[in-house]
Structure 1
């Protein structure tokens, strides 16, 4: 049984699903490698316009596989080059929606934060409990979390290891929406279908500019935005979208 599965539930939408329910989708090195390969595959597929990342209806990912880490040395960890596997997810050019049911802890929380939207179930919980086993977050838990929720909320989570509920995550900016647990997967697919129906080049440029501009000065980020805006006027989709608007008809976007 594959630990990571790629499915295509809807036109232009890929679902990447963690598939280790017996260990609550713990992230060992094999899973990280499969996730990286899966994101590289869907990112390069011109037919895919949006990606849903999920662990299923019971649990998202309860963190790293501690059995895989307990006896590792510092050199072992360095030689794993795990950051390159995480980068494959961060570099995916297509919008990624994390559908989070149940626990998203440690590496699971970090994985969700690699997404562009997070749809959480009422019973979901987010946390970075690494400090409680003598380590700290190592895949963005101190950096992406701080950028998402601010210093003081992030500090409380990473210094105490205490999780937050889905509602708390929404209030602090760590989730996009909270829905009933049994509606998470459907809502994520609904949003993915909505995004996939929009012009793919514009969608990818929006994602690229938002992410690149986060750590740039305002002037530099506005320059990125302006150039991307101008570039889209070379696309067929821009002509189609505006013409369809003027003709009061539904546009047909081709990603060209």
Structure 2
């Protein structure tokens, strides 16, 4: 079923690898398979956290597949799935970590920004080169990047199409961790392990609260937060967590 996407499970961690050599471009097949994979993992009760990475050490995803652009120009419209893959990743209720192990450009950076956390190896370069093709980042880049780096810096990055080194990306908040080359997966798995010890009932609601808060006025976001907080009290995991605290033991969450 999957030809350019592979899956490895390590307990509650799902490692999704984009394997579309040599630079893992985000072509139609990759986008389609990634959507299917993420939706499949949403239904897997054993999986808590997703790690998304690119095969090899040259690129996470080095943009879209330019060879597909002429056909899209003829159609004079963007394929619907071009945008939906980023929304599927951003809206999955499970925490997601992008492990950046090389060039992360264009649609690759948009995919990374759609994830909750981003671990980068120190040779990584990120950027939006679309301007050089007379285009713009059309998968959420013009919206997600300014929320991280601010509007002026985001405009500079997109206006120039420049590539940003890993350390600068860390300083700007584009990535959350920078590690030596070859150490990215170890760091991503360590982070995923820490996250996966907790209740998915709580994790998914935290993610939802933060996402909603980016789109709504504070008063509405606070009301939504209260609603999510109250919902948690009816879950088995909250009862287990509270009991474990009182009994001074480690909780055993079932994500129910």
TM-score (norm 2): 0.95
Residue 209 in structure 1 maps to residue 214 in structure 2: no
Shift of 1:7: 1.5
Mapping for residues 120-135 of structure 1, pairs under 5 Å: 120-135=120-135
Deviations, residues 50-86 of structure 1 (Å, cap 9, x unaligned): 1000003512011001011134326353354422333
Distance 1:182 1:60 in 2: 13
Shift of 1:200: 1.1
User: Which sits farther off after the overlay, 77-86 or 47-56?
Assistant: 77-86
Q: Which structure 1 residue ranges, 4+ long, deviate > 4 Å from structure 2?
A: none
How many pairs are equivalent? 254
Deviations, residues 95-120 of structure 1 (Å, cap 9, x unaligned): 00000011100010001001000011
Shift of 1:248: 1.7
Tell whether the 8 Å contact from 1:57 to 1:185 is kept in structure 2 after alignment.
no
When residues 202 and 80 of structure 1 are mapped into structure 2, their CA distance, relative to the original with a 3 A threshold, is closer
Deviations, residues 24-66 of structure 1 (Å, cap 9, x unaligned): 0011111110111111111121111110000035120110010
Mapping for residues 53-92 of structure 1, pairs under 5 Å: 53-58=52-57, 59-73=59-73, 75=75, 77-92=77-92
SS at the partner of 2:222?
A: helix
Partner of 1:243: 243
RMSD: 1.5
Distance 1:79 1:221 in 2: 32
SS at the partner of 1:181?
A: coil
Distance 1:184 1:14 in 2: 15
Distance 2:114 2:208 in 1: 13
TM-score (norm 1): 0.95
Mapping for residues 20-59 of structure 1, pairs under 5 Å: 20-22=20-22, 24-58=23-57, 59=59
Mapping for residues 177-196 of structure 1, pairs under 5 Å: 177-196=177-196
Shift of 1:215: 1.2
In structure 2, runs of 5+ residues without a counterpart are none
